[in-house]
A and B are shown apart, each in its own frame.
Chain A
């Protein structure tokens, strides 16, 4: 079954408000990737986190990887209408001899102007 979960499923915010989506795995991950998909578009890679406790920033976006490497978060400060879309996390989990990437179900963000 699905082993990478995301919450919330949907989020509606007023433009200028902050937004956070959380990603949780039942097993330890070797890395976590975040993607953004605009309505009608395709997923676009945003960032990859590898180290325990890692924090990376891209302008108004802040990504964190948990200490146990089982959870991650994406925080957007002062949302803009250009932030609209679905944000997916994807965790790389160790199988017997290789890493397998599993996508979460995504968080859909709507921004009200």
Chain B
């Protein structure tokens, strides 16, 4: 009963490096999301995907790209990491856009 699985859980990068955060869900959900959460702040939507092959920009998409590889997987890529992207990243999924979301454990990313 895994739910939403994110990898890695922790990562340290140097400025300018690239990396991909992976997310997979096993609940057959259509909608998937990527959020970032900074200390003392709420959740800010980076990108959203309503179904395989479709993605929409959220509140803070600059510096990120996403891929909805299939119904299960939704990845987030940082092409050239910047210190301002140091954050906790959460992936979430829901059956449809207005339904409750299930979150992964998060990826704690530090960029030096």
Which applies to chain B's interface (DSSP): helix, strand, loop or mixed? Answer: loop
- Number of residues of chain B lying within 8 A (CB) of chain A: 18
B100 and A48 within 8 A (CB) = yes
Which residues of chain B are within 8 angstroms of A44 by Cβ–Cβ distance? 103
A8: min CB distance to chain B, Å? 14
How far, in angstroms, from A35 to B103 measured CA to CA in the complex? Answer: 10
Interface bin, chain A: 20 to 34
Confirm or deny: A66 has a beta carbon within 8 angstroms of a beta carbon on chain B: no
The prevalent SS among residues of A at the interface is strand
Smallest CB-CB separation from A46: which chain B residue?
Answer: B100
- CB <8 Å contact, B98 and A42: no
CB–CB A98/B97 < 8 A: yes
Q: With A103-B42, A106-B42 as known contacts, state yes or no: A42 contacts B104, CB within 8 Å.
A: yes
Are the CB atoms of B43 and A99 closer together than 8 Å? no
B2 contacts partner chain A, Cβ-Cβ < 8 Å: no
**Cβ–Cβ contact A42 & B97, under 8 A:** no
Q: Please indicate the chain A residues that have their CB under 8 angstroms from the CB of B73 in the complex.
A: none
B contact set with A: CB distance below 8 Å? 40-43, 45, 50, 90, 92, 97-106
Residues of A within 8 A of B (CB): 30-31, 33, 35, 41-45, 48, 88, 90, 92, 98-101, 103-106, 108
Please list the 3 inter-chain residue pairs (A to B) with the smallest Cβ-Cβ separation, ordered nearest first. A99-B98, A92-B98, A105-B42
